[in-house]
Chain A
Amino acid sequence: MLLIYNNPAFYEAWSEEDRTALFSEVDQIMTELRESGEFVAGEALADGSNTKTVRVRDGVPAVTDGPFAEAKEQMVGYITVDCDSEERAVQIAARWPDAKYFAMEVRPIMHTTVADV
């Protein structure tokens, strides 16, 4: 899984033109991944202001708004790819525009297959 990190406030300050160029860059990569049969899934997360935090203490759930990580780098979405190697996953992550300004994390997903032990 490729975890996408950025600070939404950073892009908010961009011009509309630059943002359009950014989105078409992402569209282009997505198209390539669909065509190559490597794309599995992906979602973008809504703005952090829509977050609710849930904690259960002594059996009582407490729901609070936030955190509002406005000025911070945060996870904003993910894509899942099925590719031949870790190198290939890193290569895809490096092409994602957010890698240029912020960071991408590449992390294997747990599976349920069992080899002989």
Chain B
Amino acid sequence: VTDRGLEDLLRPLAGQVLGVLVRRYGQFDACEDAVQEALLDASVQWPDSGVPENPKGWLVTVASRRLTDQWRSESARRRREATVAALEPPAVLAGPLPGDDAAGEQDDTLTLLFLCCHPALASASQVALTLRAVGGLTTVEIARAFLVPEATMAQRISRAKQRIKASGTGFHLPSEPERSERLPVVLQVLYLIFNEGYTASSGPGVHRAELTVEAIRLTRAVHALLPDDGEVTGLLALMLLTDARRAARTRPDGTPVPLAEQDRSRWDTAAISEGAALVSQALASAPLGPYQVQAAIAAIHDEAARPADTDWRQILALYGLLERLAPGPAVTLNRAVAVAMVQGPHAGLKLLSGLDGDGRIAGGHRAEAVRAHLLELAGDRDGARTAFTRAARRTTSLPEQRYLQAQATRLAPRDR
């Protein structure tokens, strides 16, 4: 097996194996460590010995052994004989337990996701823990993806596990209505993971790109478990429709290519068809939600053969809808672009000036960049150039800065 093939095989099993262990033995934090060790054993041994006939069973056995080894050594240290006896695993390992069937396994993945996205955790910790416990990534891989030292990431993960332990949350699926209350947090964590990967450009960001693959895989798993949830479907569609443009969205040097200038022949048509089908299905059958609306907007962009074919009227209507469902300055910013495309740049600029009172976005580089584009559309080259320069100074992204500086230079007065 290749490294890539091995990863594809191991990662989907991580959450399932962890689920079996936690259900049998409790102690999420200890089980999580044991599963990581078993995954490591597999990645070392399988390339030589070949993949066992029942990979999941192998991992469960090895992880259980790791866990009981750990308990034995701890117990020996503490000289607590009685506890050792109570924790002896052979009898437990002999046969299947209630919940070991397929339905139990499916619940496990969801239960784990809800546990990792526990409201007591900061979002950076939710993301890290989800990738490790459910995604099967190692701490080193997660640290590389988020460009922090391994020790920092290890600390984040172990603190997150301590917090979950301290919260006293057991390993069971939250009941309704708690589940529907907390599902948005799970979806947000999956979307954050996706975005971390999607926005990665070349260079040191290479390892991050893999995060989109993980996010899509995890969201697919949730979709398979909750096929009737419109927002889960909407999020999966949004990821597919966005990721479809990945190959065309940056130049080889990492600088961004605006949607209107992208080589659409490089878009992933299979991902677009799948995403578009998913979003139509969700819109037709489930209550409306923000992910579905965003996916619908992405689908309209993706299905236009040329930029001029884009149905901006429909996009404008959808942004209006999104602003009612999930209002925020970023939505208004996007709506300003749509307004400009339908009613002309001055109408867009007017909407943008309404944002000036909103400190969260008015001073941001994105608002300045949009303003610059609209000023240029309106024929105000000088104003556009000033706005591009301001945006370039405010962004903290190097590739974006290069793009914005290039726009400002392009609009500089030419010597005759």
Contacts and interface: CB of A to CB of B under 8 A. Distances in A.
Interface in B218-272: 249-250, 254-259
Interface in B252-304: 254-259
Contacts of B200: 112-114
Nearest to A107: B396
Interface string A7-23: 00000000000000000
Contacts of A41: 149
Contacts of A39: 152
The dominant DSSP class at the B interface is helix
A34 B158 CA distance: 12
A111 B396 contact: yes
Given A37-B155, A82-B152, A84-B124, A110 B401 contact: yes
The dominant DSSP class at the A interface is loop
B403 interface: yes
A35 interface: yes
B87 to A, nearest CB: 30
A62 B202 CA distance: 35
Interface residues of A, number: 20
Contacts of B202: 112
A108 interface: yes
B104 to A, nearest CB: 33
A114 to B, nearest CB: 5
A59 to B, nearest CB: 27
Interface in A28-86: 34-41, 82, 84
A39 B249 CA distance: 33
A102 to B, nearest CB: 26
B397 interface: yes
Contact of B153 (A37, A113, A115): A37
A87 interface: no
Contacts of B152: 34, 37-40, 82
Closest 10 CB pairs of A and B: A37-B156, A113-B199, A37-B155, A117-B256, A108-B396, A114-B256, A114-B201, A110-B398, A114-B399, A117-B258
Interface of A: 34-41, 82, 84, 108-117
